[in-house]
Amino acid sequence: MSTYEAKGVADDPVLQWVTFRLDNESYGINVMQVQEVLRYSEIAPVPGAPTYVLGIINLRGNVVTVIDTRLRFGLSQTETSDQTRIVIIETENQVVGILVDSVAEVVYLRQSEIETTPNVGNDETAKFIQGVCHKNDELLILVDLEKMMSDEEWAELNDF
């Protein structure tokens, strides 16, 4: 590899993203934040929990809180299906699950391929989007998981 190519790779790193679908849109999350993907299993509701918390699951003896991603993203509710998955993620030093319609694949993206999106409006959910990218003739919306919840909300999840 030439010096110029090596410099180019360093300036423009390739990142891997796990893609999932929600309400007919494709989203991506950084693969480094994904621990595993589970089939949908019964989620035990927690009395008094915030509305965006669906409940908890038992993951090999550990309690994991599952977040209602549709509700968090301001999308309409839907029934679960065979494709429904719980993606176990680790962020803000916490392990949580996010419920998604389906999980598709892992894609490789160069940093330079990611476009920023217009930051219009005052809705907090707009901050969840880190950028967008065109992959396989469709638009992939990249999610910044750490901004999915405020510091207070992450702390609140710790109490479960």
Residue range at the interface with other proteins (CB under 8 A); choices 58-66, 73-81, 98-106, 150-158: 73-81
Q: Which residue has the tokens 């010096």?
A: 3
Cβ of 69: how many Cβ atoms within 10 Å?
Answer: 24
- Is residue 75 part of the contact set for other proteins (CB under 8 A)? yes
Q: Is the dihedral of CA 93, 33, 147, 154 positive or negative?
A: negative
Does position 71 bind other proteins by CB under 8 A? no
User: Is 51 one of the binding residues for other proteins (CB under 8 A)?
Assistant: no
Structure tokens at 116: 């920023």
Among 100, 41, 91, residue whose Cα is nearest residue 69:
100
Least CB distance to other proteins at residue 21 (A): 12
Is residue 108 a contact residue for other proteins (CB under 8 A)? no
Here the tokens at position 118 are 């217009």
- Which one among 47, 121, 151, 152 touches other proteins, defined by CB under 8 A? 121
**Chain positions contacting other proteins, by CB under 8 A:** 23, 25, 73-75, 115, 117-121, 123-129, 132, 134, 137-139, 141
